[in-house]
Amino acid sequence: MAKLDPTKMKDWQIAEAAETNLRKAADLAAELGLNEDEWEPYGRYLAKVDVTKVLARFGEKKRAKYIDVTAITPTALGEGKTTTTLGLVQGLGLLGRKVIGCVRQPSGGPTFNIKGSAAGGGLAQVVPLTKLSLGLTGDIDAITNANNLAMVALNSRMQHERNHDDAWLAERGLKRLDIDPERIQLRWAIDFCAQGLRNIEIGFGGKLDGFNMKSGFYITVASEVMAILSMASDLADLRKRLAKIVVAYSKSGAPVTTADLEVDGAMCALLVEAIKPTLMQSIEGQPMLVHAGPFANIAIGQNSVVADRLACALGDYVVTESGFASDMGFEKFWNIKCRCSGLKPDAVVLVATVRALKAHGGAPAVKAGLPLDPAYTTENLELLEKGCDNLLAHIDIIRRSGVRPVVCLNAFYTDTEKERQLVREVVEKAGARFAVSDHWLKGGEGALELAESVIAACDEPNDFAFLCDLEEPLKDRIEKQVKEVYGGDGVDFEPLALEKLAQFQSDPEIARLPICIAKTQYSLSHDPKLLGRPKGWRMPVKDVLIYCGAGLVVPVAGEIKLMPGTSASPAYRRIDVDVSSGRVSGLF
């Protein structure tokens, strides 16, 4: 393959050029040591891997070095966490390590909106890009359908209970659930940023047109079904978790589950293939496992437990990715995912950019679709040094877990040597490892310094430990997270949140579930305007959701929405198809 220049080519053009040299899925499967009955091809270059069969053969013993990639608080453009994950995988591959990368499947929301696909960028990408970005092997569609089937079952049951007496229901093997239309927990799902569907009313018409009630949509990747896919250990565990989803409450206050609606089995049937990670490859040919979805601000935002366990059984080094910054993605990796998987990280990479640090130092806001202010493309050490307070906060968060981070400065060609040196000095003074990585421009070759730093970090013992004991009260754990992870002064619970917390605390099973806070990704606080390392603030929690299937208690902080909105300059305006060849252009 001819040398590609990311400064002169779009990501989709680089991916298209690289795809002429893709390795076949059969070759990747053979390299990983998979038997023929442990994987299934989806065309020439994709495959689904049967985790249950592989782990039954290899056992549960972790043998790989396990590395998580997280980041500082990002700008609206993101700071290249997936790109860095890919660069690190490629760098470790060039150093002769048997490495597997684990990343999340892109959501249609960002792909067609502001951030674009989650494929990486430049010379550090997952390929084939078009397949990855436009549905892949159908997992997110299956999750959407499973979620919406539960909503169909709920609305249908409410309609029939309204229209018929108990005798009519009994003839059909049904028992009245007496669902309270004011206490519906589940919403419809769609994998786009469709703010117009956040709040809707359904069931207009006559008796045969469903139950008339208020409803709404969330983006598919924020649904409990997606969280369950991320957390489930196998198909049997997935089936059990789906049955526990609380869709509503009865008028007497009893939870109504998917099992009560007798829809849980059908939901699982839609997800039989989705529980299997998809085998892909980096632009340089290293194996990548793609599974589960993004949005750690409003969901768990991790690629799946099964993908990580599978990779740890097959590789010597595993690089996994957590959504958004360390206060969001890494915190959930640390206190939720690692509890569930039983895996503990050998190293944590913290991605930073000069651009984001300048934003936290007071540079004009970065706005998607608009040119960057000159402050970002010319040397400004004063802004950069001030913004390093945010970097230091994230270093402290990771060290709070017992792991010494490797700070990766994701290099932009507009960075100056003085700027890079300033960040290095700040990081090393804070006692963390530091590496500059130029993977976007140079691929694995540009990530060798980072790869070597990570190898050294993996050989360094750590004292990884969870933030809280699950026996601590839910309210105390929320406050501890706000104070010790986010740096706030405390939590202000609104009456609804306090009422729900009291209810959940009275249930011994729910009281021991991990906390998964939903808040903005653009600040350590709940307020996206509070940049840097804000002090003297308190977090308002207005509601607390319960995901019994995923096994999560979800406090909702600030004005966070479970359905993002589409911008005025979305990516779909630039995506098109060459109708003579069928090739897609404009993805990024």
Per-residue pLDDT of the chain (588 residues), as tens digits, is 557 888 888 888 888 888 888 999 999 999 999 999 999 999 999 999 999 999 998 876 668 999 999 999 998 778 889 999 999 999 999 999 999 999 999 888 888 887 777 778 889 999 998 899 899 999 999 999 999 999 999 999 999 999 999 999 999 999 999 999 999 999 999 999 999 999 999 999 888 999 999 999 999 998 999 999 999 999 999 999 999 999 999 999 999 999 999 999 999 999 999 999 999 999 999 999 999 987 767 678 889 999 999 999 999 999 999 988 999 999 999 999 999 999 999 999 999 999 999 999 999 988 877 788 888 889 999 999 999 999 999 999 999 999 999 999 999 888 999 999 999 999 999 999 999 999 999 999 999 999 999 999 999 999 999 999 999 999 999 999 999 999 999 999 999 999 999 999 999 999 999 999 999 999 999 999 999 999 999 999 999 999 999 999 999 998 877 888 888 888 888 899 989 988 898 887
Residue-level pLDDT at 378: 92
Q: Where in the chain is the domain with CATH 3.40.50.300?
A: 11-135+274-458
- Whether 523 and 530 have beta carbons less than 8 Å apart is answered as yes
Q: Catalytic site residues? A: 81, 83, 104, 115, 296, 324, 412, 440
Q: How far is residue 136 from each of residues 34, 144, 362, 583, measured CA to CA in Å?
A: 21, 14, 40, 16
Q: How far is residue 544's CA from residue 502's CA, in Å, rounded to a whole number? A: 11
Residues 6 or more apart in contact with residue 556 via CB below 8 angstroms: 497, 518, 541, 542, 543, 544, 545
Residue-level pLDDT at 359: 93
| Token duo for residue 3 | 């040398």
The CA-based dihedral angle spanning residues 557, 563, 567, 571, taken in that order and rounded to the nearest 10 degrees = 120
Helix %, strand %, coil % of the chain (to 5): 40, 20, 40
Residue-level pLDDT at 442: 94
User: Which CATH class name applies to 11-135+274-458?
Assistant: alpha beta
Residue-level pLDDT at 439: 95
Residue-level pLDDT at 313: 93
Residue 136, Ramachandran bin (φ over 0: left; ψ between -120 and 50: alpha; else beta): left
Q: How far is residue 65's CA from residue 227's CA, in Å, rounded to a whole number? A: 25
Residue-level pLDDT at 61: 64
- Whether 66 and 346 have beta carbons less than 8 Å apart is answered as yes
Q: How far is residue 126's CA from residue 564's CA, in Å, rounded to a whole number? A: 25
Q: Where in the chain is the domain with CATH 3.30.1510.10?
A: 139-264
User: Which CATH class name applies to 474-557?
Assistant: alpha beta
The CATH H-level superfamily of 139-264 is: Domain 2, N(10)-formyltetrahydrofolate synthetase (3.30.1510.10)
- Whether 331 and 394 have beta carbons less than 8 Å apart is answered as no
Dump strand ranges (E) for 405-564. Answer: 406-410, 433-437, 490-493, 538-547, 552-557
- Whether 86 and 283 have beta carbons less than 8 Å apart is answered as yes
> Phi then psi for 118, rounded to 5 degrees?
-100, 50
